[in-house]
Structure 1
Amino acid sequence: MNLIVTGILLGIVAGIIDVIPMIIKKLTWDANISAFTMWIVVGFFIAVIDLNIQPIVEGILIALLTLLPCAILIGWKEPKSLIPILVMTILLGGLIGWLIPIIGK
């Protein structure tokens, strides 16, 4: 499967995984849509960017860098809410980084 398509599909899956707890916590739809679309973009970025480092580390780095602008806004008002966001970003970013080279061949 094409790397870009794989990245986008894995981004969609990661977005669904990330948004499920947000829906359960009854967060606003703009937050849910923002998180979901971020993962689609992250999947695309991980698929097309080659930093010549381990795929898992690359996925984590790209996911964290993509999250950074939103993390500043979120952390400004609710710093404690950054903990689960960062954990999910590290886990899902690493997972996407690991899976893209395997599935996208």
Structure 2
Amino acid sequence: MDKLLFSILLGLLIGLIDIIPMMVQKLPKYSTVSAFIHYFFITIVIIHLDLPQVPWWLQGGIVALALTVPMLIQVGHDDRKPVPIIATNALILGSVVGILAHFTHLT
């Protein structure tokens, strides 16, 4: 499968996985759409990026967390409770993307 097509399809899946709990909690639509778009593009970046001197299994989590920091600052300004949840979610989903990309031999 083409690398770009794979990253788009996986981005759609990861974005959906991220927003399902948000939809269940009936969070505002702008927050849900923002999170979906965030993880959609993070997935594409992780799959197309290779960080030198960083082990393959750690790259996805690092990139996802780094790209989530601005959101953590914004959310943490109003309410600090969701910050660790969002950060953990970024690490887990980013790591999953990195591992899937590695084992599909696309990286």
Give the TM-score, by structure 2 length.
0.90
For residue 48 of structure 1, what is the amino acid of its counterpart? H
Partner of 1:93: 94
For residues 2 and 64 of structure 1, what CA distance do their matches in structure 2 show? 26
Query: Hey, which bits of structure 1, 4+ residues long, moved more than 3 A?
Result: none
For residues 56 and 6 of structure 1, what CA distance do their matches in structure 2 show? 18
Segments of 5+ residues of structure 2 without an aligned counterpart are none
Q: How does 1:70-85 map to 2 (within 5 A)?
A: 70-85=71-86
Identify which range, 48-57 or 26-35, moves more after superposition: 48-57
State whether structure 2 residue 26 is matched by structure 1 residue 26: yes
Q: CA RMSD in A?
A: 1.3
For residue 86 of structure 1, what is the amino acid of its counterpart? A
Partner of 1:12: 12
Secondary structure of the residue aligned to 2:26 is coil
State whether structure 2 residue 61 is matched by structure 1 residue 42: no
The answer (yes or no) to whether the contact 1:3–1:100 under 8 Å persists in 2 is: no
For residues 42 and 21 of structure 2, what CA distance do their matches in structure 1 show? 19
For residues 83 and 50 of structure 1, what CA distance do their matches in structure 2 show? 26
Aligned length: 105
Q: Which has the higher contact order (CA 8 A, sep 6+)?
A: 1
For residues 56 and 12 of structure 2, what CA distance do their matches in structure 1 show? 19
Percent identity over paired residues: 30
For residue 14 of structure 1, what is the amino acid of its counterpart? I
Partner of 2:61: 60
1:101 Cα deviation after fit: 2.3
The answer (yes or no) to whether the contact 1:59–1:98 under 8 Å persists in 2 is: yes
